[in-house]
Structure 1
Amino acid sequence: MKVSHMTTSAFWKGESGVRAVVEDQGIEYKASLHIKGSQAIDYSCSCAQGNSYRGMCSHCQALLQAYKEQETENQGRIVTTSQQARAMIREYTNREVSRIMSEGEGDQVKLFVAMRANRREIKLEFKLGKDRLYVLKDLSAFVRAVASGTYVEYGKNLAFHHSIQAFQKDSQPLLEFVMEVIYTYLEHYEQFQKTSFSASPVMRFLTLSRTSMDRFFELMKGSFLEIEDHKGLSRQVAVTDRSPELTVTVRRRGREGVLVSISKDLMVLEGERYLYFADSQYLYCCDPKCSEALLIFFKQMTEGFGATYEIEVNNKDMPLFYERVLKRIAAYCTIDSGNLDLEAFKPEELKARFEFDSEGPNSLVLKPTLSYGDYSFQPVEDERLPRTVCRDVPGEFRISQLITKYFKYKEHESSLPAIRGDEESVYNLLTEGISEFMAYGEVFFSESFKKLKILPPPKISVGIRSVGNWLELNVDTEGLSGSELNKLLAEYSRKKKYYRLKNGEFINLDDNGLLSVARLVQDLAVSVSDLENKTFRLPAYRALYLDGILKEGSSITLYRDQLYKAVVRGMKSVEDSDFEIPAKLNPILRGYQKTGYRWLRTLDHYGFGGILADDMGLGKTIQVITLLLDEKEKEEPAVSLIVCPASLVYNWENEIHTFAPDLKVLTVAGMAAEREELLATSEGYDVLVTSYDLLKRDSELYEGKSFRFQIIDEAQYIKNASTQSAKAVKGIDARRKFALTGTPIENRLSELWSMFDYLMPGFLFSYQRFKKEYELPIVKDQERQALEKLHRLIGPFILRRLKKDVLKELPDKLETVVYSAFDKKQKEIYTANAYQLKKELENSEGRQGRDNIQILAQLTRLRQICCDPHLCYHDYSGESAKLETCIDLVKNGVEGGHKILLFSQFTSMLEIISQRLKKEGLIYYILTGSTSKEERIRMVNSFKEDEIPLFLISLKAGGTGLNLTAADMVIHFDPWWNVAAQNQATDRAHRIGQEKQVSVFKLITKGTIEENILKLQDSKKDLAEQIITEGTVSLSNLSREDLLGLLNE
C-alpha cells in the first residue's frame, strides 16, 4: 500500500488528527485517524470495511504506521537556527530600537542639498543638521548608517540614531533618492572592483546621470535649490515646470553675415528625457516637445570649452539656418531680430511637376521636374545646384520616396521612372498614386495616358421567384456577358482589386454587390454553366441565407416575388405567426414554449426541417406534443413517428397520455414478433414511439410506410452518419423531419452535418465538401469567416434557448418524471416478489403490528429490485434498466455543463452507481452516513468551487442541512415515501443563493410499485407521514386496498 498526501492537525491535550490517501491495488481510499499519544482512538475509511464498522481496516493501519514512522524521524532530528535567521532577528531588532530611540531624541534632522554644475557633469553635495549644518563627507557611510540604524556623532550639536524616521518628512523623499542612487552605484562598484561594501570608496559628491537627473529635478519641483555654476558663482533658484522665458538675439554682423546669441547667464542641463534651463531666479523643467525642439540649438550654443553663447552665420547659409533652425525654435523662444528683416532670408519654395505618359497597355513613364525659383532639375539626375540655392532636402526625399513607391528607375528603355509589364502596378497608380502625386505638385497626362480608364463596378440586379420547393434566380450585370461575369467573379475570388477588359479599361471590383454575388456563387456551389446562363435554381431552404447575402450588397437591385417574400417574412416573424395553439394545451404552455411550437409549425408550413435544441428541462417534449395534437385536429390527420433512446420510450408515452390524451399512441417495443404485430396493426394510431435500437432492427418493417412527422429525440444518437442507427433513421419516409437535442454538437462538427443530412439531405452539401469548407477551417484553423458562414446557413433551422435566457418564463423549479422499463430477467424477479407480497396482503386482513413491519420490509425489497436487483440478489447477472437511464441522464447533464446532485435512499445503490461512473470516466463526490463531519464540509465547499460535476448523496446523510446551490440539476434515483423529505433534498440546490433554474428528475420504473407510489402521492399528499415518521413505521392510516394498489401493474 502507498500512503500519500498525509496532513496532520493539532487538536487539544496532545490529541491530533491525521488524514491521507491510501492506494491499494490501484484504487485510492481516503483514510483518517484521531490520535492520542501514539494510539488511534477513532478512525474512518472510504473502503467497504470502513463503511461496515468492522474494526480498523488495513488502510487505516497503514496510515497509523506511516504516521508513527514520521514522528520517529522528526523526534530524532537536531534543528539549529541558521545564520540567515539570526541575521534577520538582529536587523529587525536594531531597526525597531533605532526607530524608538530616534523618536525620543527630540527634533528631527533636516537634509539639505546643493548642486555644482559645469559643462561636463553635475554633482550634488549634502548637508544635515537641526540648527547648525554639517557637511556629509562620506555618502556611502551615511547610507549604510541609515540602513542599519547606527548611532553617529557629527559634532557637539548633532548625534543621533540613523533611520528614515529620524529625518523631517519633507527630507525623507530626498533621503530615499540618495540611498537608492548610492546603493546602485555601490553594486556596480563591487561588481567591477571585486570588493565589498565595507571597502567602498569615500564619496563626498553624488554625480548625477541623465536618468537620475530627471528623477532629482522631479523630486525638487516646488522647492528651492542652491546652484553653483562653472565660474564658482552661487544662486538660489526655485525649481518649476512652467515654460522657460528664453530670448534668442539675431543681429547683423558686418555686411556678410549675422550674429546669433543667448544670455551668458543661462545654464542648460540635459537629462534623459527632459531639458532644463536655469537663470538667476528659476530652474525650468521643459516638457518633452519643448525639450526636443530646443535641445540641439542650446546644446551647441553652450557645450564645449569653446562655447561662447554666440555663433556667426554667413548670408549664404542664412536661408537654411532660418528654415531649419530659427523656425523650429521660434515656437518656444522669443526671436529678437531688432531691425534685421528675417523674412528676407526665406528660401525659394520647392515646386514639383509630374508628366505621365503611356507607351503601351502596361508600359508607363514618368517625367518628374523639381524647381527652386529659376533653377529646375530632375531628381533622377542627382543634380548639383549652386550653393546659393537653399534646397528642401526633406521635401525632395519625400518626393523621391513617392516616385519609387509606384515606379522603377533606370529601365533599359529609359532613364526615367517607368512601369514595364506590371498590370497591377498600373492599376495601383491609376487608383491611388495619381492623387498622391497631386498633393506634391502639378500633374499632366499625355493623350495615350488619358485612355487608361477605371470603370465603376457593373450594376447588378437579381430577380428571385419561388417555384414549389425551389427558388429561381436571374442575375443581370449591365454591359457584361455571362462569360465575362464568370471571369470577373473568378478574379474577385482571387482577391484581385480589378478586372481588365479587352479594350484595356479596368473595372474596379471594390463593391459589396460583387461581394454578395461572389459569396452566393461560392457558398451555394452555383455552376459555371448556370452562371453564364445567368439563370439558375436553388433549394427553397436557401431562402433566408440568400436574402441575408443579397441585402448586404447595397448596390444590388433586388426583384422578389410575393411567395419568396412571404417565406422570408414568415421565418423572421415566428412569434407573430397566425398558427393557433391547441385549446387544451394553451393554458399550460409557457410563452417560450408557444414560440417553440410556432417555430416548428412555421418550418413545416414552408417545407423545412429543424433542430429544437433548447436547454435540458425547458420542455422540448411538450412543444412537440403540441405540434402533434394540432396535426390531429386537422381534417386529414396522419401517423407520426417518434424515435428516442430506449430509456425514454415510456417517458414519451406517459407525456403524451398526460398532456394530449386524445392522441392515440402506440409504443413499438417488446420481442421481435410482438413489434411486427404492433406495426402491422398500427393503422388508426396518431403516434408511434420506438427506440433507435429497435428501429435499426425493424427497418424492413417500416419500408413502404409514410409518416406525417418524424421526430428524433436525443438526436446526438445519429451523430455518426455511418452507423446502422443513423442509416435506419434517415431511411424513414416522412413528410417533415425534426430533431430534439440539448447538445447539437458534442465533439465534432460532423455530428451537425449528420443531423442536417437527416433533416434536409444536401443542406450542408456532401460531407467531403462540408469538411473542406467548414469543419477543417473552423476546428483546425480557427477561421472566423467560416464559422460566421456556417452560422448564417444553419441559424434559421436551429432554435436554442438557455434557462438563463427564459428564466422569467420559468417556475422556480422544473420537475420531470423519467420512465424506464424492465428487461425480461429483471421483470421476472420483480413479478415473483410482488406476487408473494400480494398473497400475504390478501391473507393479512385484520392483522397489524409485526405483519405491518414485514410488509414494509417487503415493499422496500420491491423498491430495491426496481433500482437494481443486485441490492437483493448478489448473484444476479442481469442489468438494471433504471441504472442505464440514470447514466444516460447524467452524461447528458455533464455534457450540457450542468452540476448534478444525485440522491438515493440506498447507500449500497450509490456504491453501484459510483462503480459504473468510474467505468464511464466520470468524476464525482459521494456523501454517506460514514462520511466524517470534516470531510463533509470539505466536499461541500469544494463542490461550490471546482469542476467536479456530480455529487452522490444518501437521503439520511445529505437530505437536509447542506447548501449546494452550485448544482442546477437534481436526480432522485428512487421515489421516497416522504414527499416532504424528497423536496427537502431538492432544496439543497433550490434555495436562496441559487441563480440558475433547477431541473428535478424523478426516475421511475414503468409498471411497478414506483409508478403507483407517484399516483398514490397525488391522491394522498401526506403519504410519507402516514407510513414513516422519524424512522417509526406507521401503516395504520394506509388501507389494505392502498397497499394492494401499489402492486398493480
Structure 2
Amino acid sequence: MRALTHDQAVFEVAGSQKKPYTVTITSDPYGVITDCTCPHAAKGALCKHVVAAAHTLADHLIAHPLNPWRSVFASFQALPRRRPTPMRLVFSLLERGATWTLMPYTIAERVIPQAVMDDPVALHRHLMTKDVLIQAKIPRTPLHPSHVPSTAEAALVVANMIITVSHQFFYGAAFPLSTVLDSVVQFLPNTILFMGDDYNPFRRMVQVCSDHAQIHLHGTATADGITITPMLHVGDTRATLDTADVRMLHSAPPWAIYRTMLVRYDDPGNILTLFGRYQHLHIPAADYPEFIERYLMPLAEHTPLSGDLPQQALVAADPQPRVYLREHESTVFAELRFGYADHEVAYDQQLPAETMRYHPDHATILRIQRHSTSEEHAWGELLRHGLKRGPQAGVATLRSGTTVATFLLTHVPALVAMNFSIYGEESLLGARINRHTPSISLRVSSGIDWFDLEAVVRFGETELHLAEFRRAIRKRERYVQLADGSLGAIPEAWLDRYRHLFAFGDLHAETLRFAPAHSTVVDAVLEETDQVDQRFKERSERLKTINGIEAQALPAGFETVLRPYQKAGYDWLHFLYAYGFGGCLADDMGTGKTIQTLVFLQSLVSRGQTSASSLIVMPRSLIFNWQREIARWTPELRVLVHTDHGRADTTAAFANADLVLTTYGTLLRDHDLLATYQFSYVVLDEAQTIKNPVSQTARAVRALRSEHRLTLSGTPVENSIMELWSQFAFLNPGMLGSLDHFRTEFATPIERDGDAHAAQLLRRMVNPCILRRTKDQVAPDLPARNERILYCAMEAAQHKLYQRYRDQYRAQLLSLIDDHGMNDSRMKVLEGLLRLRQICNHPRLVESTFRGRSAKFEQLLETLAILQAEGHKALIFSQFVQMLTILREHLDQQNVSYTYLDGKTQNRAAVVDRFQTDPHVHFFLISLKAGGVGLNLTAADYVIHIDPWWNPAVEQQATDRTHRIGQEKPVFIYKLIVRESVEEKMVHLQERKRALADSIITSEQGIVKALTRDDVADLFS
C-alpha cells in the first residue's frame, strides 16, 4: 500500500509481469470505484489484483481503524462552493449490434426549457436537434441530487445504479439490459424512454406498456399447404417479427419494442427459439397431419393459435372409468382408460391437467380437461381389487394368488358396482363364467340315531355336486367348477353360513349324515328351510326352549322343597337325560345347583334308571359341603367318599354306593382305576377347573366312562371361549368339532375379530345344553346387594416406594415389549403389576424392612373396628396370604376373634361352622384362591375385597359365598382401592376389556391376555 487517505487507497500489486500493477480504490457517497492498470481490467472486468488489494485494505483497516473526523468534514468540504449547473435526466435504450442496453443521459437545463420537458412530443423534437445531441452526456460518476434538481428520486436511484455497476463491471461499457429492465419499469413507470444508438440515442420515443404481449402461431393457408408465422400480439393488434414496427430486445425476461411501446411478451412455447432465424415455415399439405399430431398439438398446450390453424375447444365432463381386459401368454392385463363425453384417454400416472386431441372433421384441437383426483382414485380402486401395477403405465396385472376366476367372479362385480365399464371379458381363455346367481335347496330326514341333510345347488340349469360344494365351503373358495366346465361364484354369505355345517357331517352318496349331538348345528344353520321331516322338527323345537320341556314328577317329599326355577332345572336335566345330551348347569353362585343335581340323581335312583353308581368330582374344599347337602336333602342316597388315605384301591365298593364323591386331585392320582368303571353319571362341580383343554385334569375327566355327563359352574367361561370347548369336549364329545377347528372357526374370530355371526351361531349350538339363570332372574326376593368402592391415598413413604418401583418397571417393560413383542413380555408385565399391587396393599409385602404406614391397611382397620362395634360379620378376601398374615398379627394383638382359611387349612368344615355359629367371631379371613368358591357363609352380611382382581367373575364368586339362597340380610360389598395407582387403572381396564362371554354365556374376556403396549404404558404411568 503506497498511499491511504480518508477516501482513497493506492496499491502496488505484483502480477505475472515484471512491473507491478497500480490499483486504486476510491470511496465516495455513492459507492466504491476501483481501477487497475492490468490488461484484464482494461477490458472492463474485475481483476484479481483489485481483489487482492481489497483484502489487504480490509485487513489494514481492521488492525488500524481510521479516525473518522476527516471523512466527516470531507463530505462538508465536498459540497459545491457555488451552485452547479442544473441538468435534465433522460433514459435511452441503445442498440449496439445484437444487444440492447439502457443508459442515463444528462443535458443542461438551460438547453431544455421546463415547458418542453412537460410535453413528450416537443421533448423528442427538441432532443433531435444537433445542439442538444452534442450536449447529451452519459455520466461517469454517480449523480448528486443537486446535479439534477428536477428529477424524481426513483429515477436518480436507477441512474446511479446503472452508472455505478456499469463502471464497476464493464469499465464504462454499456450496462446489459437483461439485468435492469424489469427494475427500471418497476421504479420508473411514468418515465419517458427513448431508443436509438450511440450516434443518436433519441431516434424514437417509447412508452412502457403495462399489459403483456403474447407470441402466437399464425397460419396462412396456401394452395399446397400452410405457412406458419410467429406473430407478436399486443392487445388487439398483431405484427410479424420481421416488420419495422417490431424490435425484439432478446432479453431475459423477454421484451420487445412495438412501434412506440416497450412491451414485455410471453412465449411459453419458446416459439422464437424454435424458429431461430426463420421468420416463416411452410408445411406441405401431405405433411400437415403429421405436423398437427406430432408438433402442433404439444405446442398448442402453451401457445395460442390463429389464422388458418385449428381452433381449440374445451371438453369438460366427468370421467367414466373403463377397463380393457386382454390375455397374453397366460397373463391377464387390465388397461385403465377414461371416457370424457365422446372422447377416451388413457390413464397417465403423471396426472396431466389436460390432454390434446385433434378432430379433423371440424379442424379443431380438443383440450380435454382431466380430473386427476377421480382418475387417481379409480386407479387405486383397480389396484385394491386383485391387481397390481403392470409393465406399462396405466396397465395392471393379476396379483400373486389371485386367479382369473377370483378376479372375474369377485373383483369385476365389485368394480362394476363402482361404475367401472369392463370390456374384453369374453376374450379371456383362462375362465368361462356362469353368471347365474346360485340357488340352494335343503332337506333333512331322520333315522334312529342319525339324520341326513340333502343339499341341491343350482347355477341356472347347471347343478353342482354336493361333494364339490362341501369341498369349496370347507376351503372357503369363492368359485367352483360346474359340470359343464364353467365356473360359478359362491356367495360370500354362504361361506359363513354353511362352513360350520359341513365341518361336522360325513358325506354319504349325495347327503351329509350327522350324529344326534350335531342337531343344534344343523338347526342353527337351516332355520330358513321348511323341508325337514316331522321327527327332526319336533326335536329342534324341544331343544330351543326350556319352557317347552315336559314336566317331570319329583321324588316324594320334594314338592315344596324346590323353588319354581329349581323345578325347571330339574325338568331340564331329565330332558337332557332322555335325549342323551350332556349339559352344563351354569346358574349363578348360590342359587342351588347342588340341590337341583341331588334331587335329579335321587329321582333316577328311585325310578331304577341307573345301572351303576354316579361319580361327582369337585375341589377338595367342597367335599364336606356335598356331604352336608346330601345328608340334608337326599339321605336315602348311599354315599362313598373316595379321597384321602384308606380309600379303596378297587372299584368293588362302588357297587354299594349311589354316589361316589372324589376330588380333582384324587382323580389324577387314581385315574387308571376310575377310568375302568362305567358310571351312570359323571358330574363335575366347579367345572371351570377343566377350562384348559390340554391340562391333565381336562384329559383325565374326558377319559372317564359314563352313560351321561353333567357339569356345574357359575362361570363356565372366565377368560377365553376355548374354555367352552373344554366343557363340551367332556359333555358332548365332537359336538363343537376338534380343538383346532373350534379355535379357527369360533374362538379366534369371536375374541380377536368380534365376529358376530360366529358368536350367534355358537350360542345357538350350545344353548340347549347350557342352562343359566342369574340371581336377579330367579330370586327377586333375595336381599339387596350394595357395592361401594372405598378410596384411599398413599402415605408419603409408601408413595415414594411405589413411584420407584413403577418407574423402574415402566422403563424395563416398554423396552422389552419394543424389542421382543407383547407375547414374550407378559410374564415380566405380570411381575411388575404384582409388585405395584402389593405395595398398594402394604409395602411390607415387597420390602419386609419397611417401617412406614399403609393407607389401605389403616382404612381396613378403621372399617373392621366399626363393623365389630356394630355387631356385623364380614368376609375379608385377599389374593395375598402374606397380606392376611399382617392382618392376623394385628387382630391377635387386639385380641379380636376371627377364623382363617387358605390352601393349607385342614379341617375346613370346623372353621366354617365356627364362623357361622359363634356370635363372637366377627371376621373370616379368606384366601381368594382357596375360599372363593364352594363355601356357604350366609352368616356374613359384609364382604371386603382388600385388593381387586382382573377378572370380576372371580370377585363375584367370592361375594356369592354370602349373597345366596338362605341369606336374609342385605349384603354390603366394599372394595378397597388406592387412588392414582395401578388398582384404579385396573378398575377402568376391567370395564374397557369386558366384552366376550356375554355374547355366549356369562362373564368377560381375559384381561391380562388382552393387554396391549398402550395398556402397559398406561398401567405403569
TM-score range, shorter chain: 0.3 to 0.5
* Structure of greater relative contact order (alpha carbons < 8 Å, 6+ residues apart): 2
For the pair shown, the structure with the greater C-alpha radius of gyration is: 2
TM-score normalised to structure 2 length: 0.41
TM-score normalised to structure 1 length: 0.40
